[in-house]
Structure 1
Amino acid sequence: MKNMIHYCSQTSTFSLHNCKVSYIMEVIEETYLIHRYWGKRLSSYHFSNRPILKKRTFAAAPDNEKLEVSPEFLPFELPVAHQGDFRNPAVQIEHKNSERITRFHYQRYEIINKAIDLDDLPHARDTEELAQTLIIYLFDPIAQIELALSYTIFENSPVIVRSTKVNNQSEKSIKLTKLFSASVDTSYDDQLVTTFYGTHQKEYQLNRSAIQHGLFKIGSSRGASGPQYPPYLALSKEATENKGDVHAMTLIYSGNHEVLLERDQYNHLRLQIGLNSETFSWQLNPGDSFQSPQALLSHSDQGFNGCSQSFHHFFADHLIPPIWKNQVRPLLINSWEMTYYDVNETLIKQLIDAADELGFETVVLDDGWYSQRNSSKTSLGDWVIDHEKFPKGIQPLVAYAKKKNIGFGLWFEPEMVSPETTLIQQHPEWVMRSSNYQPLLGRSQYVLDLTNREVQRFIIDTVSQAIDTLDVSYIKWDMNRHMTDPFSQLHSFEASEYSHRYILGLYRIMNELTTTYPNVLFENCSSGGGRLDPGMLYYFPQTWISDNTDGKDRQQIQYGASYLFPISAMTGHVSDVPNHQTNRTISFETRAALASSTNMGYEMNITDLSPKKKEIIRDHLQEYKEERKLITQGNFYRLLSPFSSNYCAWMFTDKGMEQAIVYVFRNQYEVYELSLLIKIPFLKEDCLYKDSVTEQVYSGSELANCGLALENSKDDFIVHKIKLVQIEKEL
């Protein structure tokens, strides 16, 4: 077996490397595990970047004869508090007397010839691709606590998978008050930091800034990853979309998280990601263990596009449920913006007929189908079909759709419960709430206590019954509020454990459902991108990335989300105008192009269209069906950023760069711009490509360096679509 992990006993170094990346650590003083390098593959390493240490006043040193060896400026792999390192720690443990001092020493290591599975958490899947895992054990002989640091590397990926496990081997209980999944120390070199911020209907907004001295921190305390600050951080220096070094990290987790960047007085940088330490602690009794979520560390020397490609390929190969990796997703029509809560049997049957006529492949019955659900204020938890709206039930509609070879989907918000429902009357103890205060409503609903296994079983059985009895092929799983009262009425664990236990309960539910029904397509939604993260992607292969379908706002949302997520993980719909979220009117061509850049669907009334509109939609659906494999399974590249210009452009190519689709969006018309010019890199420069619309022929090098001139028509929010096909291998 090819060995990608090496330990050199003479130099006390660990090296992880494949054809793309190297990650190097050193054990010094037979005690400390030190970070030395993470980046482009090295042919060999001989400590060329090892700093020359000097004694510093105020710097604590464990050996008085080696004052230059101080934890204050050592680049730790897992920094611990109260041992001379005054930067942010990655692990913190509290003993019975409230003391928080631990001192971990390097003990041993082992190498496993596979990726490791985590029992209760989503994780990088082991596949046929060669993988090895290094586990380094640190030990505190006084406290009798072991730390197991895991590093997994795959043969063809520049992504390193990191996590940490705490094992209490003592005879006393301890409290884990902080545990990050990854911590990396490096040097400040005028890098910029890239993160994302957002809100409902404005997810994944790009934030790039200089790094100041001090601590920069983002994260979530909402009980979900949230649209405000998703788990992502990247460092870059003079990097563009197409070139330059980028180091990025994310977290395979869906709950409260924390991402930190610290620049200290010596111009050292510390990057950290993991559980939110302000909302987390965990009681570890003798013999107990706690496993952190996995962090993914990606390096690229091909700019932000290269970094995104690394994440895209890794998610497709090692995160998305394997059955959905190469499976074409159905082209669907959703009832929501057509009917809102006013759904009924007649309308849905008409929708099925129209879907069949136009070429849709799945009809989704969104909110409003159950138990007198006529607004957002009622009925969640009482998942009984509303027989006033559906006198014959829903199953005949599913059968009617199947006769037309159309799938049928159903909306659920299973984690929530409305007041004055039968469920809450029967089980008031199932509500997440404090024992001292009345729980707060959010969107007129309470959150169910997913730490309770009875609640977990209720949700599993409810969704299972719908799948079994109705034979639906698609479930839209929504979650429309965040936690305000994170406590269980029934369990005695500490409140600071609640948020993580909730997520573990959610993962158990999703794991059982997706394992039992692998062929049902589960779509993640949280008012759009309110819980869009790699953890959810492990179970649900795609996410409705925003409730905002506006043709301008979607450019930024989709562009930003693509930094992390492959196109196959995103869904986007063509909606009507004026747009229901912004009241903006944008051409069908632009709206269609944006939706066609995802797993595409529609969200409008298609039952009363004019013959001309039917023809336009029918042609669009047929065109997308012909192109969707290229769009969802090919490579995706960002070309022009809507965050910094009046334009947005991106490109899809097949793996061999023989076909390409380029979309160029121009928003506001400017009279001084006589034409548009778009440079198209990433094609094979020594080959010729034909534009299938104009039949013009261009060289790949010409498109990359000269660019392609496009008409700048007098209107706002226009789009150009360019389809290129290779016609010669070499000039």
Structure 2
Amino acid sequence: MRERSFFQSGVFGPPQHRRLGIFLAVAFCVPVIAPRCPALGQSASTESERIQYDDTTHTFRMDGAGVSYVFGVNQNGELQSLYWGKRLRPADPMPPARADGGTSAFDLPVNATPQEFAGWGGGLVVVPNLKITFPDGNRDLVLHYVSHTIQNNTLTITLKDISRDVAVDLTYKMDEETDILARSARIENRTQLPFTIEDVFAATWNLGPSNDYQLRYLTGRWAGEWNLQQTALHPGKVVLESRRGSTGDEVNPWFAIERSSQPDQDVGDVWFGALGWSGSWQINVETDWQNRVRITGGNTPFDFSYVLAPGQSLETPRFYGGYSNTGIGGASRLLHRFELDSIVPGAPHRRLRPVLYNSWEATGFDVNEAGQEALAEKAASIGVERFVMDDGWFGERKDDHAGLGDWYVNPQKFPQGLKPLIDKVHSLGMDFGLWVEPEMVNPNSDLYRKHPDWVLNFADRPRTEGRHQLVLNLARDDVRAYVYGFLDKLLSENDISFLKWDYNRNWSEPGWPAAPVEKQKEVYVKYVHNLYSILADLREKHQHVEIESCSGGGARVDLGILRLTDEAWPSDNTDPFDRLGIQDGFTYAYAPGVMMAWVTDSPSGMNGRSTSLVYRFLSSMQGGLGIGANLNKWTTEDFAAAKRLVGEYKAVRTTVQDGALYRLISPVGESEYSVTESVARDGHQAAIFAFLHSSQKGQPYPQLYLRGLDPNAVYSLHAHEGKLADGAVQRASGDYWMHHGVSISLRGDFQAAFFTLEREEAQ
């Protein structure tokens, strides 16, 4: 561990001089880290190469294989951003940090200087990272650099207020494979009295001046999630936020900023980021008068406060950021690799998503042992690997009006418990999964009648129901113990391999009457912490169990919940054409390897649209394949086609779930076409899925110019579903497929094709 301390060395002098920002340069008592750096494009191999500190310029530099992140301590003691972008060469100079002056008396240097983490004080008017009210009414907080340590590839910097003993530890850690940087802050009260945190954001990302930045973000609603929005940035502020108690589907905690609007997905400079937090959140994108951009993210300040007693601390969520010089496509591929190799459980050796069958659309709440066993036999016959029984198996659960909270097996539906059904499923070669909604309670339940105080509520105020249910206050330790207890009991007594963890409404009346008044707003943080701790404890004790995050569709998908769950449900809308756009949007922020996609019945319940079984399968085969159709209504031909398609999927599953995704043609807007290509990590295979909405005036299907192939390797082309165009070449170099392209034949309405390229090994 290496540590430097400005306060210990007297750099800033007495407090009154620190406030004026008088900088006295002195030498430090520890050796300078050797300025060694790997060649451009190579992975940094040692800690000292990845993180450097220059004693002379007081500058920090973090280098990855393709990215450099540089900031320094300026003459005022502030942490000032200097550079974030494509990897710099070892000899490239980096001027020391120097606080910027404003253009007039209205523009104080504290606002003109791009800071890494700023307290609300000293005239700050941009979004602060931290705002505190002290017991004496003071709200001024000016944070200066104190010291830093470098250990285990992590840089930790300590800031402190100029007079009060408030310390902030900032952590920076860059992923070795993707150069994605994880940042967070820990606020500690070292004073003698409690104080109240009113705003707390994890980190700020700064981009230099440019007049052609384009912001991308994802919006949605139930059954219409994951819509990619794009807008030019101009001076002012864009606020992305959820006040719902959870992540929310109206906007996701992800952003990407591109310098200029490129017509090609794989060209251009893109900076992107995502919050690892599953509660209420906010990301502010501020553009100043010099067209510099400042992105600050963390807990939303709305209805928020957190009291820190002396000696206590609060840690923010992680705010992840990355850079790509290969466009928005390259940015999403970096995020996918990071999520699969560093975020999800089991990473980097996680299990691939098994082919799943879920009984919901076949039976609804009307589940019983005989009916589920019959569905299991049909599912096994087509190659399904995981059988999941959905809602209706517990308590007095006949519909969605009752039973949530009473997590015992319904004795009328399952007289001998779940074991006979589970044994049957196992005998068919499948593992067994179960639907649960642990965070909710129906007022018509034994649990609510016994503990009406266990829900989020304001005393003597109405309790708003959503889907006939209320939200349990998981911030309470007794509620946390109850939820963990029944889940642990369920998993201990039954051989269950999978939980579909649902969460079907947002918060209302987010009160916590049992807590002291000054601490009641801490519910937003403590709820999520307890949720995470339940998931972590269950995974530790039942290590074979996998979990899906589901929330009325994609309303709780983020890099926080994905650290503890293996897959995510993007939308309740399973219409295969709608899903092309939904899945396209999802993959800008999240990997196909965590995206579940179901084959359901036709006509679709959402739009009444009729599509072929092949079309429905190919739409769903672009992620984790699931089947939710009512198998009791399938024909012999349906079962035969499904078995063939499941086999085809298994042959490309690794490529689709873990490979590099290229969006050859986007389905958004008025596009008649959608084409995705997934390339295996080792390059041996590419899987291409092509879709046509409707033929127009005899127009042929566009030529498909593939990407991500080895230009010198030879690949053979195999059409699995759909037809190649007459005379199409079936063996050629990677250069040929990428520049001459592939010709396929699709005509009619709602048509689809699936083909693969297989690399031939050199003799």
TM interval, short-chain normalised:
over 0.9
Q: 1:149 aligns with which of 170, 176, 179?
A: 170
Q: 1:498 aligns with which of 523, 526, 541?
A: 523
**8 Å contact kept, 1:690–1:696:** yes
Structure 1 counterpart of 2:739, which letter? Answer: N
Residue 403 of structure 2: aligned partner: 379
Alignment of 1:168 with 2:189, yes or no, is yes
Alignment of 1:562 with 2:587, yes or no, is yes
Q: 2:325 aligns with which of 301, 317, 328?
A: 301
- SS of corresponding position for 2:199: strand
Q: Measure how far apart 1:99 and its partner are.
A: 2.7
Q: Measure how far apart 1:460 and its partner are.
A: 1.2
Alignment of 1:74 with 2:96, yes or no, is no
Residues 309-359 of structure 1: CA distance to partner in whole angstroms, max 9, x if unpaired? 211111122211117843233212111011111112221111122122222
Residues 162-198 of structure 1: CA distance to partner in whole angstroms, max 9, x if unpaired? 0111111111221111111120222341110000100
Residue 746 of structure 2: aligned partner: 712
For 1:382 and 1:158, the matched residues in 2 are separated by: 46
Q: Measure how far apart 1:700 and its partner are.
A: 1.8
Alignment of 1:611 with 2:657, yes or no, is no
Q: Measure how far apart 1:200 and its partner are.
A: 1.1
Residue 681 of structure 1: aligned partner: 707
**8 Å contact kept, 1:60–1:84:** no
Residue 197 of structure 1: aligned partner: 219
For 1:51 and 1:186, the matched residues in 2 are separated by: 16
TM alignment of 1:5-84, pairs within 5 A: 5-29=51-75, 31-44=77-90, 45-47=92-94, 56-59=103-106, 70-84=109-123
Alignment of 1:343 with 2:362, yes or no, is no
Q: 2:436 aligns with which of 409, 412, 419?
A: 412
TM alignment of 1:131-146, pairs within 5 A: 132-146=153-167
Q: 2:377 aligns with which of 353, 373, 391?
A: 353
**8 Å contact kept, 1:188–1:263:** no
**8 Å contact kept, 1:668–1:717:** yes
For 1:452 and 1:419, the matched residues in 2 are separated by: 19
Residue 65 of structure 1: aligned partner: none
Residue 660 of structure 1: aligned partner: 686
Q: 2:307 aligns with which of 274, 283, 302?
A: 283
- SS of corresponding position for 2:200: strand
Q: Measure how far apart 1:41 and its partner are.
A: 0.8
Identical residues among aligned pairs (%): 29
Specify whether residues 53 and 571 from structure 1 end up closer, same or farther in structure 2 by C-alpha distance, changes over 3 A only: closer
Residue 560 of structure 2: aligned partner: 535
**8 Å contact kept, 2:224–2:573:** yes
Structure 2 portions without partners, runs of 5+: 1-45
**8 Å contact kept, 1:158–1:300:** no
- Which piece of structure 1 moves more, 442-451 or 260-269? 260-269
**8 Å contact kept, 1:640–1:647:** yes
**8 Å contact kept, 2:75–2:98:** no
Residues 447-468 of structure 1: CA distance to partner in whole angstroms, max 9, x if unpaired? 1110111111111121122222
Instruction: Tell me the C-alpha RMSD between the 2 structures.
Output: 1.9
Q: Measure how far apart 1:280 and its partner are.
A: 2.0
Q: Measure how far apart 1:598 and its partner are.
A: 1.2
For 2:701 and 2:657, the matched residues in 1 are separated by: 30
- SS of corresponding position for 1:675: coil
Residue 572 of structure 1: aligned partner: 597
**8 Å contact kept, 1:676–1:711:** no
Residues 438-492 of structure 1: CA distance to partner in whole angstroms, max 9, x if unpaired? 2111110011110111111111121122222221111110000010011223222
Residue 469 of structure 1: aligned partner: 493
Structure 2 counterpart of 1:37, which letter? Answer: Y
For 2:175 and 2:392, the matched residues in 1 are separated by: 46
Q: 1:643 aligns with which of 668, 672, 677?
A: 668
Q: Measure how far apart 1:51 and its partner are.
A: 8.6
Q: Measure how far apart 1:608 and its partner are.
A: 4.2
- SS of corresponding position for 1:531: coil
Residue 401 of structure 1: aligned partner: 425
For 1:434 and 1:481, the matched residues in 2 are separated by: 18
Residue 257 of structure 1: aligned partner: 281
Q: 2:446 aligns with which of 407, 416, 422?
A: 422
TM alignment of 1:365-376, pairs within 5 A: 365-376=389-400
**8 Å contact kept, 1:371–1:384:** yes
**8 Å contact kept, 2:118–2:143:** no
**8 Å contact kept, 2:119–2:129:** yes
Q: 1:228 aligns with which of 242, 246, 250?
A: 250
For 1:658 and 1:673, the matched residues in 2 are separated by: 33
Residues 94-145 of structure 1: CA distance to partner in whole angstroms, max 9, x if unpaired? 11233321111111111112xxxxxxxxxxxxxxxxxx11111111131211
TM alignment of 1:593-608, pairs within 5 A: 593-608=618-633
For 2:642 and 2:559, the matched residues in 1 are separated by: 33
Residues 361-419 of structure 1: CA distance to partner in whole angstroms, max 9, x if unpaired? 22111001122312111110111222222233321111111122221111101100001
For 1:291 and 1:2, the matched residues in 2 are separated by: 25
**8 Å contact kept, 2:275–2:298:** yes
Q: 2:266 aligns with which of 242, 245, 267?
A: 242
For 2:98 and 2:395, the matched residues in 1 are separated by: 68
**8 Å contact kept, 1:73–1:85:** no
Q: 2:136 aligns with which of 92, 97, 122?
A: 97
Structure 2 counterpart of 1:47, which letter? Answer: M
For 2:615 and 2:653, the matched residues in 1 are separated by: 17
Q: Measure how far apart 1:626 and its partner are.
A: 2.1
Structure 1 counterpart of 2:174, which letter? Answer: I
**8 Å contact kept, 1:279–1:499:** no
Structure 2 counterpart of 1:146, which letter? Answer: A
Residue 146 of structure 2: aligned partner: 107
Alignment of 1:219 with 2:241, yes or no, is yes
For 2:406 and 2:177, the matched residues in 1 are separated by: 48
Structure 1 portions without partners, runs of 5+: 62-69, 114-131
For 2:461 and 2:526, the matched residues in 1 are separated by: 21
**8 Å contact kept, 2:160–2:167:** yes
Residues 211-239 of structure 1: CA distance to partner in whole angstroms, max 9, x if unpaired? 12211001101000011111011110234
**8 Å contact kept, 1:93–1:177:** yes
Q: Measure how far apart 1:710 and its partner are.
A: 1.8
- Which piece of structure 1 moves more, 461-470 or 32-41? 461-470
Structure 2 counterpart of 1:207, which letter? Answer: Q
**8 Å contact kept, 2:74–2:97:** no
**Normalised TM-score (structure 1):** 0.93
- SS of corresponding position for 1:262: strand
Residue 67 of structure 1: aligned partner: none
Residue 124 of structure 1: aligned partner: none
Residue 439 of structure 1: aligned partner: 463
For 2:612 and 2:293, the matched residues in 1 are separated by: 47
Specify whether residues 608 and 216 from structure 1 end up closer, same or farther in structure 2 by C-alpha distance, changes over 3 A only: closer
Residues 648-681 of structure 1: CA distance to partner in whole angstroms, max 9, x if unpaired? 2111111122210111112132115133322111
- SS of corresponding position for 2:756: strand
For 2:373 and 2:680, the matched residues in 1 are separated by: 38
- How many pairs are equivalent? 703
For 1:550 and 1:49, the matched residues in 2 are separated by: 56
For 2:430 and 2:125, the matched residues in 1 are separated by: 61
